[in-house]
Amino acid sequence: MKPRSTGRNTLRRLAVPLSEVFKVLHLKPSVDIMPQVCLSDVNPHILESTCTELREKYGQDKVHYQVCDVRDDAQVEDLFSKAKSSFSKLDLVVNNAGVVDEQDWLKCIDINLNGVIRGSLQGIKHMKKENGGSGGTIVNVASLAGVVPVSYSPAYAASKHGVVGYTRSWAGHPDMKTNDIRFLCLCPAFAKTEILKTKEGQLLGQKMAEEFMKKTGVMSVDQVTQAFTDLIETPDNSGSVMSVTLQGSKLLFQV
C-alpha cells in the first residue's frame, strides 16, 4: 500500500506495473490478499478520475484516495495515519508531487523538497518496528535536475538536489537498516507530462529550456515507470539513485 502524490499521466502508467509492485512486496495479487493503494494529490479532479480508472482495473476496495497538499504538515500526517489505520501497515511510499516555479520559488522548494521530507518522515514513522511497522520502501522522485545544474530553473534544481541528498543521507542511517527501511531515488530527464507545460515566469528562460529539451528529447512516461519498477525490484539497494534518460537508466549513486 502506498500513499503518494503524483501526476495523472504517471498514475495512469503506474497502473500498469501495479502487479509488479505487488510482486516486489512478495505478495501474490490474489483476491484475498491483494495489497491496497492510497493515491493522493492536491488536485481533487485528477485524483478522482485516476482513482476511478484504477478501481475498474484492480477492484473498488483496492484503491483509496485522499486529497492532500504536501505543504501542509497536518494534511500529510492525516493522510498517513488514515492509510495506516485502514491498511494496518505501509509497505511502499512514493513521494512524487512536484512543480516548476522560479517566480514563486518558496512554493517550489516547499512542494518539491519539504513535501518529500514530510512524506519521508511520515513513512519512517509508520514503517518503524517500535510503532507497529515492519519496514518498507520509500521512493523519492527527484529529477536529472537533482544531479546537474539547470540555469533556466535554479530553484527547481536546488529542490531536486536536496531530494537526492536527503534520500542518500537517510539510506545511510543505521536506524533504517535496523528497521528494514529502504530509501531510493529516481532522477528522470524530460518526460511527457503536464509539468512541461510551463507558463510565463515559471522558468528563467523559456527559449533556453525549449532548446535544451529539443537537444535531449522527451521520454514517454512508460520509460520512467519501467525504471521505477526496476529500481524497486532490485534487492538490497537502499541508497540507490537512478537516472532515466532516452538512452536508458543508470545507477548514479549507491548511498
Ligand X SMILES: NC(=O)c1ccc[n+]([C@@H]2O[C@H](COP(=O)([O-])OP(=O)(O)OC[C@H]3O[C@@H](n4cnc5c(N)ncnc54)[C@H](O)[C@@H]3O)[C@@H](O)[C@H]2O)c1
Chain residues binding ligand X by CB under 6 A are 5-10, 41-43, 46, 68-71, 96-99, 111, 141, 143, 188, 190-191, 193-196
DSSP 101-144: -STTHHHHHIIIIIHHHHHHHHHHHHHSGGGT---EEEEEE--G
The least distance separating ligand X from the CB of residue 78, rounded to whole angstroms, comes to 13
The answer to whether 8 touches 194, Cβ cutoff 8 Å, is yes
Nearer to ligand X by C-beta: 23 or 212?
A: 212
**Catalytic residue (choose from 58, 65, 152, 156):** 156
The least distance separating ligand X from the CB of residue 106, rounded to whole angstroms, comes to 12
Which phi and psi (to 5°) does residue 243 adopt?
-90, 150
The least distance separating ligand X from the CB of residue 224, rounded to whole angstroms, comes to 8
The least distance separating ligand X from the CB of residue 251, rounded to whole angstroms, comes to 17
Nearer to ligand X by C-beta: 111 or 158?
A: 111
Nearer to ligand X by C-beta: 8 or 182?
A: 8
Nearer to ligand X by C-beta: 10 or 202?
A: 10
Distance separating alpha carbons of residues 166 and 147, to the nearest angstrom? 13
> How do strand 240-245 and strand 248-254 relate by DSSP bridges?
antiparallel
Known catalytic residue at 166: no
CA distances 255 to 3, 94, 208, Å, are 24, 18, 33
DSSP 64-86: EEEE--TT-HHHHHHHHHHHHHH
Question: Which of the residues are catalytic?
Answer: 156
